[in-house]
């Protein structure tokens, strides 16, 4: 088994940081909300968004086995059999997927299409192509 770590582009990380710093900057500007309970409740609800975004940043990887690979992204995982792959290529389409980087891999199988962002895209593509040709 070979593991490929997911890629989080700098724009994705910066967006996450700005999202988390924005309320603190606004509070620093002394908003005229007198009820501290309202402020605390809004902050808690706001930062609950991290419970959705963080798994996509932290659980983003592929585990390549002999005849399949497991794609882990956020709360989900998907098993892709190499024999089912019809097409695999690099893609830079910004509206194609929710992947964490514009430097993506497009994979089409008999059942589905998916985009993944890995730190070593070229190595992963080459290993898949080698396994397909065996």
Concatenated DSSP letters of 56-120: HHHSEEEEE-SSEEEEEETTEEEEEEGGGEEEEEEE--TTS---SSSSEEEEEESS-EEEE-BTT
**pLDDT tens string 30-54:** 666 667 787 788 889 889 989 999 9
Domains in the chain: how many in total? 1
Output the pLDDT for position 73: 94
* Structural domain of 9: 1-134
pLDDT of residue 33: 62
CA separation for the pair 117, 120 (Å, rounded): 9
**Confidence category of residue 77, pLDDT binned at 50, 70, 90:** very high
Q: What is the pLDDT of residue 24?
A: 78
Read off the CATH number of the domain in which 67 is found: 2.30.29.30
> What local confidence, expressed as pLDDT, does residue 25 receive?
78
Q: State the first-to-last Cα distance of the chain, in angstroms, to the nearest integer.
A: 17
């Amino acid at each position: 088994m070979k593991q490929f770590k997911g890629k989080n582009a700098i724009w994705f990380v910066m967006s996450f940081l700005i999202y988390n710093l924005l309320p603190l900057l606004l509070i620093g500007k002394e908003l005229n909300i007198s009820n501290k309970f309202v402020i605390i409740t809004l902050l808690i609800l706001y930062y609950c968004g991290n419970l959705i975004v963080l798994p996509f940043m932290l659980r983003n990887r592929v585990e390549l086995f002999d005849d399949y690979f497991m794609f882990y992204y956020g709360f989900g995982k998907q098993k892709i059999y190499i024999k089912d792959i019809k097409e695999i290529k690099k893609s830079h389409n910004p509206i194609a997927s929710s992947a964490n980087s514009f430097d993506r891999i497009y994979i089409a199988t008999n059942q589905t299409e998916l985009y993944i962002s890995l730190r070593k895209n070229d190595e992963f593509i080459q290993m898949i192509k080698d396994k397909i040709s065996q």
